[in-house]
Amino acid sequence: MRTCSRFSGDSRDHPMERPAAGILRERKRLMTMENGPTRRPERSTPPQVVIVGGGFGGLFAARALGRAPVRVTIVDRQNYHLFRPMLYQVATGLLSADEVSEPIRSILRRQKNTDVLMAEVTGVDTQNRRVLMGSDSLSYDYLILATGIHYNYFGHDEWKENAASLTSVGDAAYSWCLRSVAPEWGARREQYQPDTVTR
Ligand SMILES: Cc1cc2nc3c(=O)[nH]c(=O)nc-3n(C[C@H](O)[C@H](O)[C@H](O)COP(=O)(O)OP(=O)(O)OC[C@H]3O[C@@H](n4cnc5c(N)ncnc54)[C@H](O)[C@@H]3O)c2cc1C
């Protein structure tokens, strides 16, 4: 009978037997250790990473973890990623909103370890490691907060009334409407909400 030159014929030496033998040895070692049987078992589920925010920071983090042995859940109040640097073009009518935004789910569709959840995060329970979303919550082992910024009026909140912000599609649509139909730039914001404007 022909035998492989690297296999002596002894089943303990067979390449397929080696892992099993290794496991048996490891089990024996653990059982004979003083505290072997009470040692915590190996974790069977991968750690859960929760990322709050699907902007530049959140997406970059999710992508970096794409091949890591973790479960990733990305939570955003919007179902789309917004490319904010091009909001000026939306505000001036050069681009439409769908040209500067894309569903987070479709950006990350190839990442097998990642789920996308649309929800407003209302707080974090750091004691119990849970992200709070109203009455719902999500547990995490690692938490990444990438919720962006908001405007600073340097202690002059009254400026807000006259200084149009530009951080969302709604802001851009408002600026565009204001520019297109408002008789003057000083028009009051509430009179010119995008959905109430007709050209
Ligand atoms: C008009 C404009 C032009 C810009 N131009 C440039 C430029 O040319 N070059 C440049 O480098 N940078 C530019 N920036 C800045 C750049 O866009 C920001 O630095 C970048 O978007 C910040 O990324 P981020 O991930 O921290 O936050 P963001 O991109 O703001 O994302 C935050 C995400 O968190 C979500 N979120 C927030 N709170 C919650 C919550 N409670 N629950 C659930 N989700 C939440 C939001 O919905 C959002 O999707 C510009 C910004 C603006 C507004």
Domains of the chain listed by start with CATH number: 48-145 (3.50.50.60), 160-196 (no CATH)
Which residue among 75, 76, 171 is best mutated to probe the pocket of ligand 1, counting the most ligand atoms within 8 A of its Cβ? 76
| Distance separating alpha carbons of residues 78 and 49, to the nearest angstrom | 19
| Distance separating alpha carbons of residues 165 and 170, to the nearest angstrom | 10
Q: What is the pLDDT of residue 159?
A: 87
* Contact between 102 and 81 (Cβ < 8 Å): yes
Q: What is the pLDDT of residue 12?
A: 42
* Percent of the chain residues topping a pLDDT of 70: 66
Beta strands in 59-118 (DSSP E): 71-76, 80-82, 101-103, 114-118
pLDDT digits (tens, 9 = 90+) for 127-160: 999 999 999 999 999 999 999 988 888 899 898 8
Query: Which are the contacts of 52, defined by CB distance < 8 A and separation ≥ 6?
Result: 58, 75, 76, 121, 131, 143, 144, 145, 146, 147
| Distance separating alpha carbons of residues 95 and 15, to the nearest angstrom | 62
Q: Which helix (H) or strand (E) holds 144?
A: strand 142-145
Q: Tell me how far the alpha carbon of residue 189 is from its chain's centroid.
A: 33
Decide whether any atom of ligand 1 lies within 6 Å of the 58 Cβ: yes
User: Across residues 162-174, what is the average pLDDT?
Assistant: 83
* pLDDT band per the 50, 70, 90 thresholds, residue 91: confident
| Distance separating alpha carbons of residues 148 and 135, to the nearest angstrom | 23
Which of 124, 122, 129, 193 minimizes the C-alpha distance to 164?
193
Query: Which are the contacts of 25, defined by CB distance < 8 A and separation ≥ 6?
Result: none
Least confident piece of the model among 31-40, 75-84, 116-125, 149-158: 31-40
Residue bearing the CA closest to ligand 1, atom 30: 148
Which residue among 51, 84, 107, 165 is best mutated to probe the pocket of ligand 1, counting the most ligand atoms within 8 A of its Cβ? 84
Which of 110, 99, 118 minimizes the C-alpha distance to 53?
118
Q: What is the pLDDT of residue 85?
A: 93
* Residue 32 alpha carbon to ligand 1 centre in Å: 56
* Percent of the chain residues topping a pLDDT of 90: 47
Q: What is the pLDDT of residue 5?
A: 39
Q: What is the pLDDT of residue 52?
A: 98
Q: Is it the case that residue 199 has pLDDT exceeding 80?
A: no
Q: What is the pLDDT of residue 152?
A: 86
